[in-house]
C-alpha cells in the first residue's frame, strides 16, 4: 500500500515539476523579448520577470523536482526489483537528462538576473521543447517497457522532435511577417 501512495505522490510532483519547467522557459522568452521594448518599459518588465522567475523556481519547480525524485527513490527502495529491468535504466537516463535540463534552467535564471541574454527568444522556444521531448520519452518508456517498443519509440521521438523544430521555425516566420 505504501508503494501506491508513493507512486501517487511521485506522479503529482512530476506533473508540478513539468508545469514549472514549461512555464519558466516561457518566462525566459518574455524576459528576453522585453529587450525590444523602450527603456522604461523594458526595466519594469524585466524586474517583474525576475520576481516571477524566482518565485516559480524556488517555491514550485525546484521543490517539486526534489519531491518527485525523492518519491521515485523511495519507490525503488520499496521495489528494488525495478532496478533489474532495462526500461527502468532507460527511464533513469532520461530523468538524469531532465535534471541536467533543470540545472541549466537555474543557470539561465542567474544569467538573466545579471543582464546576460545568451539565447534568443527563438533558441529559448526550441529549448522549451526539449522538456517536452524528455516528458514524452519518459512516459513512453514507462508505459511500453519493451526493447522492441523502445526502437519504435525512439524513431517516434526523433520524428516528434523534428516536427517540434519545424513548428518553432514556422512560428518564427509567422511572427516576423506580422511585425
Q: Could you say which residues of the chain have pLDDT below 70? A: 146-151
Q: Taking the model in full, what pTM does it have?
A: 0.85
Residues 41, 117: contact at Cβ < 8 Å? no
pLDDT tens for each residue of 41-68: 999 999 999 999 999 999 999 999 999 9
The whole-angstrom distance between residue 96's C-alpha and the CA centroid of its chain comes to 12
Count helices and strands (H / E) in the chain. 6, 0
Residue 109's Cβ-count burial label (10 Å; 0-12, 13-18, 19+) is buried
Quote the mean pLDDT of the chain: 92
> What are the extents of the domains in the chain?
2-178
Residues 16, 78: contact at Cβ < 8 Å? no
Q: What is the DSSP string of 19-48?
A: HHHHHHHHHHHHHHHGGGS-HHHHHHHHHH
Residue 122's Cβ-count burial label (10 Å; 0-12, 13-18, 19+) is middle
Amino acid at each position: 500500500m505504501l508503494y501506491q501512495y508513493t507512486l501517487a505522490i511521485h506522479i503529482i510532483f512530476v506533473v508540478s515539476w513539468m508545469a514549472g519547467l514549461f512555464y519558466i522557459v516561457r518566462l525566459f522568452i518574455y524576459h528576453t523579448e522585453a529587450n525590444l521594448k523602450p527603456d522604461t518599459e523594458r526595466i519594469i518588465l524585466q524586474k517583474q520577470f525576475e520576481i516571477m522567475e524566482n518565485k516559480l523556481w524556488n517555491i514550485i519547480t525546484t521543490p517539486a523536482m526534489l519531491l518527485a525524485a525523492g518519491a521515485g527513490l523511495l519507490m525503488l527502495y520499496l521495489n528494488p526489483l525495478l532496478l533489474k529491468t532495462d526500461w527502468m535504466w532507460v527511464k533513469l537516463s532520461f530523468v538524469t537528462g531532465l535534471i541536467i535540463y533543470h540545472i541549466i534552467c537555474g543557470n539561465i535564471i542567474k544569467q538573466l538576473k545579471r543582464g546576460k541574454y545568451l539565447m534568443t527568444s527563438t533558441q529559448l522556444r526550441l529549448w522549451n521543447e526539449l522538456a517536452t521531448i524528455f516528458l514524452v520519452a519518459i512516459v513512453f518508456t514507462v508505459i511500453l517497457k519493451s526493447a522492441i517498443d523502445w526502437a519504435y519509440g525512439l524513431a517516434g521521438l526523433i520524428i516528434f522532435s523534428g516536427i517540434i523544430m519545424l513548428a518553432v521555425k514556422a512560428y518564427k516566420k509567422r511572427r516576423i511577417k506580422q511585425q
